[in-house]
């Protein structure tokens, strides 16, 4: 099983190496903590890597050292899973930057406190930029907040990676309080209606006009014509099977046994109750574009897992 508070990084000649990535809100770090990072990395033969989410990863670690790494860092293990609010990227804003228009640090820290590691249908990344230069890359974030002289503009549905998508603007010129309010509405709507899919995939499936209308109706206190997105129902009649929502559909149907050739996204679509099993084996990347169409045997190899044990566990819950 995966060591507590670590991510598998590499499997080479049967040997696994791991990384720990402590939470650093906004990427701000005091000198004494930076020195502690360096001392721990040096002690356990790790390498420090600055991540795109403004954190510092210590990688190249052995499984047996993970608990001691967290102890020496004087931190609780950074727990969580892939389908959650992964990060809130924050630019320096008016506090540190001459071009800042609004206080991105204040707003970003509030969002981080409210939503970091909250469970979501898929991974969710937030960006908060203090001016139109968008150093926090708000247009390729699931939720982006961009500051202007007049307030905050809010964007949704952006992503980078293997399936890049530019975000759609939902509303503009908001106060800080209004920006926090609409982010809460967007997240609640996404949690209620989405399958295992990024916000951009969700929007493409139901249509941006509907997404925007429902969100703004709630924001302005109007009666929304909100309806549930279509779902399928199993032959058993009691298990709801989400429409693929950006995931690859295979040939698996309800009642089939899961085999080593079964596609991960297809398993989740037909047997959503398998999601906790995948997570318990350290496979948090459910719905990740990189694993779309990936069969169980390939995923098990990548994660260094015992294929037979995984198949037994999956088939026990269907």
Q: Residues near 99 by Cβ (< 8 Å), separated by ≥ 6?
A: 130, 131, 133
Question: Do residues 92 and 147 make contact, with C-beta atoms less than 8 angstroms apart?
Answer: no
Mean pLDDT within 9-19: 85
Mean pLDDT within 272-278: 86
Question: Do residues 218 and 185 make contact, with C-beta atoms less than 8 angstroms apart?
Answer: yes
3-state helix, strand, coil in the chain (%, to 5): 40, 20, 40
- State the pLDDT at residue 219: 96
Task: For residue 133, give both structure tokens.
Answer: 């230069």
- State the pLDDT at residue 246: 41
**Which of the four pLDDT bands, split at 50, 70 and 90, describes residue 238?**
very low
Task: For residue 250, give both structure tokens.
Answer: 């295979």
Per DSSP, the chain holds a count of helices (H) and strands (E) of 11, 11
pLDDT at 300 over 90: no
Mean pLDDT within 26-50: 96
- As a whole-number percent, the residues of the chain with pLDDT over 90 amount to 65
pLDDT at 179 over 70: yes
- State the pLDDT at residue 225: 52
What's the predicted TM-score (pTM) here?
0.78
- As a whole-number percent, the residues of the chain with pLDDT over 70 amount to 86
Mean pLDDT within 282-298: 70
Mean pLDDT within 9-27: 89
- State the pLDDT at residue 165: 96
pLDDT at 237 over 60: no
- State the pLDDT at residue 310: 93
Mean pLDDT within 216-223: 86
Lowest-pLDDT choice from 11-15, 94-98, 187-191: 11-15
Q: Residues near 6 by Cβ (< 8 Å), separated by ≥ 6?
A: 18, 19, 20, 61, 63, 66, 77
Mean pLDDT within 95-124: 95
pLDDT at 248 over 60: no
Mean pLDDT within 231-237: 33
- State the pLDDT at residue 276: 84
- State the pLDDT at residue 290: 54
Task: For residue 43, give both structure tokens.
Answer: 């002690």
- State the pLDDT at residue 234: 32
pLDDT at 25 over 50: yes
Domains in the chain: ranges and CATH: 7-73 (3.30.70.3340), 85-219 (3.30.413.10), 247-316 (1.10.3910.10)
- State the pLDDT at residue 242: 37
């Amino acid at each position: 099983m995966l060591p507590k508070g670590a991510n598998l990084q590499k499997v080479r000649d049967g040997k696994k190496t791991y990384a720990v990535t402590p939470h650093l809100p906004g990427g701000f770090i005091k000198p004494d903590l930076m020195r502690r990072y360096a001392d721990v990395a040096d002690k356990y033969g790790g390498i420090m890597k600055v991540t795109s989410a403004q954190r510092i990863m210590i990688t190249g670690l052995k499984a047996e050292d993970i608990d001691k790494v967290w102890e020496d860092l004087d931190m609780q293990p950074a727990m969580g899973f892939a389908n959650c609010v992964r990060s809130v990227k924050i630019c320096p804003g008016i506090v540190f930057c001459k071009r800042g228009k609004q206080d991105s640090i204040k707003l970003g820290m509030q969002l981080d406190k409210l939503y970091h590691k909250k469970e979501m249908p898929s991974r969710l990344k937030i960006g908060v930029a203090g001016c139109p230069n968008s150093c926090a890359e708000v247009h390729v974030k699931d939720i982006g907040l961009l500051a202007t002289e007049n307030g905050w503009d809010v964007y949704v549905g952006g992503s980078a990676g293997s399936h890049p998508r530019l975000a759609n603007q939902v509303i503009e010129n908001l106060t800080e309080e209004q920006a926090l309010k609409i982010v809460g509405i967007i997240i609640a709507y996404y949690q209620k209606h989405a399958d295992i899919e990024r916000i951009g995939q969700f929007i493409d499936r139901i249509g941006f006009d509907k997404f925007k209308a429902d969100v703004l109706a709630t924001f302005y206190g109007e009666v929304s014509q909100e309806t549930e997105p279509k779902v399928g129902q199993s032959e058993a009649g009691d298990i709801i099977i989400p429409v693929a929502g950006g995931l690859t559909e295979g040939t698996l149907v309800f009642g089939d046994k899961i085999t080593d050739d079964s596609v991960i996204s297809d398993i989740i679509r037909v047997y959503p109750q398998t999601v906790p099993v995948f997570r318990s084996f350290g496979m948090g990347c459910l719905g990740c574009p990189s694993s779309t169409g990936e069969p169980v045997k390939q995923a098990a190899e990548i994660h260094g897992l015992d294929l037979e044990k995984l198949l037994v566990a999956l088939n026990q819950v269907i």
